[in-house]
Amino acid sequence: MTPPRIGLTPTDATEAVLREIRPLPTETVSITEAIGLVLARAISSPIDLPHWDNSAMDGYAVRASDVGTDGVILHIVDHIPAGAFGRRAIGSGECARIFTGAPIPDGADCVIRQEDTTAIETAKVRVDDVRDVGRNVRRRGEDILRGSVVLERGTVVGPAQIGVLASVATPSVEVHRRPTIAILSSGDELADLNERDAILSGRKIASSNNYTMAAMARMAGAEVLDLGIVKDDLDETRKRLADAHGSALLVTSGGMSVGEHDYLRRILEGSGAACRFWRLRMRPGAPVGFGMIGGTPWIGLPGNPVSTMVTFELFVRPAIRKLMGHTQLFRRTTPVRVGEPIVTQAQLQHFLRVTLSVDDGELTARLTGAQGSGILTSMARAHALLIVPEDRQRIEQGEILSALLLDETIHVTSVPY
């Protein structure tokens, strides 16, 4: 058994995990199913978009050379709603009634908006204002040119990308497969919510980690295979780990510490050359393991609920994103002003749970309350993880530190735009 490697930083551990993770193979899926996935191939357009010059207004398609001054009267020779094409070319002194999106007829080169005209007789119209001369035509190909790349390889497919794909008549795309993340919690003290009586009577504690880990995996874009809870028993644990076979990644919680009931750690350390166990230079969440089990990468997280979530955020989420083919794996940090003095208890890099609020145009971070690694409500209130460098055990109010934004969860109370 390899002794624990003491003193690895979270950055080094993240990089070590990511070195062992490869993007999943690709598959072709319908654009509807592609939401949140990453394009494995660039998409070129088979058409110009728009397909023809068309009207940006309801009005009259005219020849600019006919409407040099206000008050010109034109003959209406055609009527072109969206979905129709003009039946004839527009000659001198003529125009066509036209509607938004309809193709500009031959001969015409601009559209006078309806509000600037007066109908004279059934087939005649007067142009009262010439401000639209030369305007209101959406040009063929002004959005997308046939043959051009509309979405690069590596693009994340969101609603707008799905819209672009649909608009160029592309029904399916090649993407990196959506990973399935297997999740397992260990501990004799744990119960799922179907053993509610045991939890309410105080004989067991709820395995909230199954729920937080599954939710975080789904939010990152993965599917979840929840393997439930395993007792602190070596054989039982080995058996249950095998159920992760076929998943892209196994994530476990608990059983990573130094106690004699910490079987996950023992199995991980015995599982082969590529395996590592770290006592990381961070709080919360020091004991983290990484290895391979039956060909499946395995990240072992500590069991304390806050530690589980913070280490999932730092080590598992980027791994999920790499499996999905993302090239940007990390959430951003932002400078924040610290709203209260902070003292840390150990020379470790701290990831403190904070709320962020906008004070005088600046983000201010305040602790969400007691920071114990078992106090999950501190995480439930957090917008961000405030990063306190390991050489800083005392932070004064007003200092600037970096905060890792957990989500775009900062909201304000009134319409800001």
**302 near ligand AMP, judged by CB under 6 A:** yes
**What Å distances lie between residue 277 and 256, 273, 292, CA to CA?**
9, 11, 12
Please say whether the dihedral angle defined by the alpha carbons of residues 270, 232, 374 and 250, taken in this order, is positive or negative.
positive
Question: How many residues of this chain interact with ligand AMP, rule: CB under 6 A?
Answer: 17
Residue 264 or 293: which CB sits closer to Mg ion?
264
Q: CA 369: distance to chain centroid?
A: 28
**55 near ligand AMP, judged by CB under 6 A:** no
Residue 187 or 305: which CB sits closer to Mg ion?
187
d(CA 389, CA 281): 10
Closest approach of Cβ 18 to ligand AMP, in Å?
A: 24
Residue 78 or 232: which CB sits closer to Mg ion?
232
Closest approach of Cβ 203 to ligand AMP, in Å?
A: 14
d(CA 402, CA 375): 23
Q: Which residues pair with 291 in a beta bridge?
A: 298
Residue 259 or 272: which CB sits closer to ligand AMP?
259
Closest approach of Cβ 198 to ligand AMP, in Å?
A: 14
Contact partner, 297, from ligand AMP, Mg ion, none, Cβ < 5-8 Å per class = none
For ligand AMP, which residue of 86, 179, 291, 303 counts as binding (CB under 6 A)? 303
Instruction: For the chain, report the end-to-end CA distance as a whole number of angstroms.
Output: 59
Q: What is the dihedral of CA 106, 109, 114, 119, to 10 degrees?
A: -60
Residue 105 or 287: which CB sits closer to Mg ion?
287
| 254-293: contacts with ligand AMP (CB under 6 A) | 254-257
Closest approach of Cβ 262 to Mg ion, in Å?
A: 6
d(CA 352, CA 383): 11
Closest approach of Cβ 189 to ligand AMP, in Å?
A: 6
**What Å distances lie between residue 371 and 139, 257, 336, 366, CA to CA?**
59, 20, 19, 12
Q: Which residues pair with 191 in a beta bridge?
A: 206
327-331's contacts with Cβ under 8 Å and 24+ in sequence apart are 327/154, 329/18, 331/404, 331/405, 331/406
| 166-225: contacts with ligand AMP (CB under 6 A) | 185, 187, 189-190, 205, 207-209
DSSP result, 274-331: T-EEEE-SEES--EEEEEEETTEEEEEEPSSHHHHHHHIIIIIHHHHHHHTT-S--SP
**253 near ligand AMP, judged by CB under 6 A:** yes
Residue 45 or 253: which CB sits closer to ligand AMP?
253
For ligand AMP, which residue of 304, 311, 349, 368 counts as binding (CB under 6 A)? 304
Q: What residues line the site for Mg ion (CB under 5 A)?
A: 187, 254
Closest approach of Cβ 229 to Mg ion, in Å?
A: 11
| Interaction site with ligand AMP (CB under 6 A) | 185, 187, 189-190, 205, 207-209, 253-257, 302-305
